[in-house]
Structure 1
């Protein structure tokens, strides 16, 4: 059989141009014995299949985590996907390259009605699950992580600060317009010289005199800060040395914002340095249930879960774009998706992605039960952001030189993964949170 195969292959190479017509093909086949004919036909089928394969649909949700949602929740997710594909995907690369925010999308996002998904209906929320909100974040990040960060800063950090740390009056005043996106929020915790040490080392200060607070200091890396209507500012009280939170109008006298330029990651996000000199804020604007950093940490716990979902979305976007690329990219007259080393890397990427999806789905179910712990949120944040880095790196590798082109999208995901890896608590800090829980010993200095 091997001799027959070699003979057929040799004849195929020599007579390829002769078998383009039926008579020539019949003549070619008449020179072969029965075994050679069968071998030739089998070889022809394989060549045709390799050259013009029929690919299955691209789906990064390999274990169908979407099936955890009910029918109504799936409709919400579908509307988000349509919006991201129709409104964001066509402009994402352009605005990422320019480092500008597409403000025209805010009016369109209002109609999606996805802010405050888990909030009470009497505030304009929908009382839906944290699982749905997590999957919405995944769906947004699957197309663009910057837009998901805008969503996370406003609906996560800023709104949750008011919702969980504000008085009933503050919640009633600010949450409904924030859900309606009539007021956009930002969250000011990190400082130029203080990141991981925020629990004890804030240098921004606040001091009360009567019913007025005076705030002095600087913040850095504050997303949405150049255009937000309100900024949640965290500062250390000069009198009791505890961290307090404030709802500050961006246009307050003494508060200035400066856009941070030259980023390699999340370029659409408008990060800013905030400088505050004798900024006056009334006691009515102090978050009434934020009396120490423990209250700030309650907000961060929830948003760490959100960042884990963002990392899943970023990784999924990179994986799906790369899979599509391997189906279209041809080498040696066949798609590279059919090469063994390509399939090995794709399988590794999908394995990591699927593990991440299953972890965050379980995390959100714990959140819906009201039992999610700090260390569980931290573990998901660590695992998913590390996995996101790995998957986006493999994506770049599979695309070869084309992987460094922003127009091919994977390079954008690769850059954005770096920010996810660092914000909302670095990998190292979150690892120490987990380590403290599993050993009973604190390694924090």
Structure 2
């Protein structure tokens, strides 16, 4: 791999000579797990990194990469399948880190499909439903999405769900709208959460697998985003969509079931934040070594070294939290407040890191080809989705005090 030009020109997509794992957390992985990650990193570096800026600029998704990605067999790694045993959450966490290191939008695609959509079917579906959908989703023959957030409901969606489901014989009729749905423009199926109003009263929250060709279902791409521009977020409309009982997730009967999915994926967002921090640290270190001002590399200046040390500190602390969270998940003792703390802490530290890295790069930091501008913007989305910092801190605060501050 060639070094970056001494005049501070565009940086290479991979920086193998810089080790961001300061405390050696990857040593917790088995050799076969490390080999899987190495193969994934090579594929992402060779296929996604060279085109990410272009697709980000055009706000488009590189659909042509999906068949090749499927061959890596990294979807739904933590799910037990007929011909593949569940792998450790620690491994799937590092997989998410590798996606985010190259591009946060591609990590979002992975997280929505593998974590939210496949996770919902795995946790809340019947054996028949798991056999019906998960093998195809594993191989990306079918792409999934997750429909919870609504135009009028984000942080308060638990108590303010407006999308309704009404039982009509062997079918359910769904009406409502969903917003900010990742993969929503091209997903083959969407796990939609709706309030059961069959008896004219609140019958709990239920989950349904809505297939893209069902009459009354439509999606429209959300335009003009400043972050995660490769991610195809959509507005979904459900206008009298008739869903067979066979598509109702058989073990999803309340928002507690929905929240069991979110508990896991908040930890995944923490891993994404660590992945983006990994990238900006590598870029900033390389730039500091290669950018010459006043006759020497800017990395020889105390203020620059201070910023690099701050970025590394945030990265290392966040990675440690993500690793421990994955271990707790593997042990089956991961709680809501732990996922909430990991998500809010790691994404907050990411926000600091992208600012410091952009500062190191100076004016070049706002140019896509120097590597910082894209994560600088994408960090804003990670900071907000799957629960804002404020909502997650209230979950943690309730655990600390035993008192709820939710209104």
TM-score if structure 2 supplies the norm length? 0.94
Distance 1:57 1:187 in 2: 38
Q: Provide the residue aligned with 1:385 in structure 2.
A: 347
- 8 Å contact kept, 2:76–2:119: no
SS in structure 2 of the partner of residue 221 of structure 1 = strand
Q: Provide the residue aligned with 1:198 in structure 2.
A: 157
Distance 2:118 2:155 in 1: 22
State how 1:126-165 maps to structure 2 within 5 Å.
Answer: 126-165=85-124
- 8 Å contact kept, 1:125–1:179: no
Q: CA deviation at 1:276?
A: 1.1
Q: Which has the higher contact order (CA 8 A, sep 6+)?
A: 2
- 8 Å contact kept, 1:118–1:125: no
Pick from 66, 78, 82 the counterpart of residue 26 of structure 2: 66
Q: Provide the residue aligned with 1:113 in structure 2.
A: 73
Q: CA deviation at 1:121?
A: 4.0
Q: Provide the residue aligned with 1:438 in structure 2.
A: 400
Distance 1:280 1:56 in 2: 52
Q: CA deviation at 1:57?
A: 2.7
Measured against aligned partners, the alpha-carbon deviations of 1:207-227 in whole angstroms (never above 9, x if no partner) come to 011111111111000000111
- Equivalenced residue count is 390
Distance 1:187 1:290 in 2: 14
Q: Provide the residue aligned with 1:100 in structure 2.
A: 60
Q: Provide the residue aligned with 2:3 in structure 1.
A: none
Measured against aligned partners, the alpha-carbon deviations of 1:96-134 in whole angstroms (never above 9, x if no partner) come to 000000001101101111012122241x43421000000
Q: Provide the residue aligned with 1:407 in structure 2.
A: 369
Distance 1:348 1:245 in 2: 43
Measured against aligned partners, the alpha-carbon deviations of 1:152-189 in whole angstroms (never above 9, x if no partner) come to 00000000110001111111111111111111000000
SS in structure 1 of the partner of residue 63 of structure 2 = coil
**Structure 1: where are the runs of 5+ without partners?**
1-54
Q: List structure 1 segments (4+ residues) > 3 angstroms apart after TM superposition.
A: none
Task: Say whether residues 1:79 and 2:20 are aligned partners.
Answer: no
SS in structure 2 of the partner of residue 200 of structure 1 = helix
Q: Which has the higher helix share?
A: 1
Distance 1:322 1:125 in 2: 39
TM-score if structure 1 supplies the norm length? 0.86
- 8 Å contact kept, 1:116–1:125: no
Give the direction of change, closer, same or farther, for the CA distance of 1:267–1:56 in structure 2 (3 Å limit): closer
Pick from 209, 212, 221 the counterpart of residue 171 of structure 2: 212
Q: CA deviation at 1:252?
A: 1.0
Distance 1:208 1:247 in 2: 15
Distance 1:116 1:245 in 2: 19
- 8 Å contact kept, 1:93–1:407: yes
Give the direction of change, closer, same or farther, for the CA distance of 1:203–1:172 in structure 2 (3 Å limit): same
Distance 1:308 1:397 in 2: 23
- 8 Å contact kept, 1:116–1:126: no
Pick from 191, 202, 207 the counterpart of residue 232 of structure 1: 191
SS in structure 1 of the partner of residue 61 of structure 2 = coil
**Structure 2: where are the runs of 5+ without partners?**
1-14
Q: Provide the residue aligned with 1:50 in structure 2.
A: none
